[in-house]
Amino acid sequence: MGLADWFSTFCSNLTTQKGSSISNRYKAITRRLNTDFWNTTSNTSHSLYVGSYGRNTAIRGFSDLDMVFELPSALYYQYDAYSSNGQSALLQAVRSSMKKTYSTSSIGGDGQVVVVSFQDGVTFEVVPVFNNQGGSYTFPDSNNSGSWKTTNPKPEIQAIKNRNTLCNNNLIPLCRMMRAWKKKWNVPVGGLLIDTLAYQ
């Protein structure tokens, strides 16, 4: 095998697996939450892959998949009016909804996410969010008596996609190679920082 073939195989081996099962779970979670919070059975509306999977920089063997689910704005005012930690109550409401679909799975709602742990080692971290003007999201943080935080993942996703095109589709493979290096040698560097360094 020549060097070019070896390198092509190396890059291919880094790509994620279980695409169909991930998609099926993502759609099932989306459908469940849409049913309970939007009165629709859509398995695509109001949800978005974020994190490394959303940026397409995750590698084979990844364990955590991040997604956001947009809730009706009326719920923000409902839970914001709580006298104490409405953020925790909101997370528990989302958790209760998801338990209807995944009754035998381990589902926890704490901090900023609702976590669903599957037996194959993949964990979905679902962040309930509210749309802001300009495209950012407000999300609940139940720590320290509760507060609201802001995140804006869409520009990150688009920036990686645009730069990858400008770099002859080499940026995303570089991000994946750096992640594999981090995983192999247990380097204490966050995934978003890796993608940012590769982007720069």
Query: pTM for the complete prediction?
Result: 0.93
Spatial separation of the C-alpha atoms in residues 167 and 199, rounded to whole Å: 10
Q: Is residue 55 part of a domain?
A: yes
Would you call 152 helix, strand, or coil by DSSP? coil
Number of domains in the chain: 1
Q: For position 17, what pLDDT does the model report?
A: 83
Digit-coded pLDDT (tens) for 57-76: 999 988 899 999 999 999 99
Residue 25 within any structural domain of the chain: yes
Write out pLDDT tens, residues 130-180.
999 999 999 999 999 999 999 999 999 999 999 999 999 999 999 999 999
Q: Could you tell me if residue 122 is inside a domain?
A: yes
Domain membership flag for residue 111: yes
In a domain, 80, yes or no: yes
Higher pLDDT, 38 or 1: 38
Angle between helices 19-37 and 86-99 (to 10 degrees): 120
Whichever domain contains 50, its CATH number is 3.30.460.90
Supply the range of the domain harboring residue 24. Answer: 17-151
Mean pLDDT across the stretch 22-50?
A: 97
In a domain, 12, yes or no: no
Separation CA 56–CA 16 (nearest Å):
9
Q: Alpha-carbon distance 159 to 139, whole Å?
A: 22
- The predicted-structure confidence for 5-31, as pLDDT tens digits, reads as follows 999 999 999 999 877 899 999 999 999
Q: Is 29 helix (H, G, I), strand (E, B) or coil?
A: helix
pLDDT tens per residue across span 101-134: 998 788 988 799 999 999 888 999 999 999 999 9
Predicted confidence at residue 81, as pLDDT, reads 97
